[in-house]
Amino acid sequence: MRTFSFDIQNIIDAQGLNLSITGMAIVFTALMLISIAITLLPKVLQLLAGILPAAGGHHGQPAAAPAKPAVSAPATDDHAIVAAIGYVLHTRLHK
């Protein structure tokens, strides 16, 4: 049986094709395993949701819903101010 050593001399001796195919096979296998793990993750999480308890808040109280940010009404002059600034910049840059 012939031994195969990973050395730069192997590439010089015309065994670079074997090395590259082996490397591509390793990378392809790793990427396939990662892809399969990502695909199966939602199913695994659904199974775990039935087994693991829901997350609670501080001292066992239920977690509070995140507060909604306050939405302020836009000022009516904002568009006019932006248009005026844009006009001044345009006229100064294109003199």
User: 22, 6 in Cβ contact below 8 A?
Assistant: no
What proportion of the chain, given as a percentage, has pLDDT over 70? 65
User: 19, 6 in Cβ contact below 8 A?
Assistant: yes
For the chain, which residues make up each domain, given as ranges? Answer: 1-53
Give the separation between CA 10 and CA 29, rounded to whole angstroms: 24
Top mean pLDDT of 5-19, 53-67, 71-85 is at 71-85
Q: What's the pLDDT tens digit per position in 25-38?
A: 999 999 999 999 99
Decide: pTM greater than 0.85: no
The pLDDT of 54-80, averaged and rounded, is 65
Bridge partners, residue 62, by sequence: 56
Length of the chain: 95
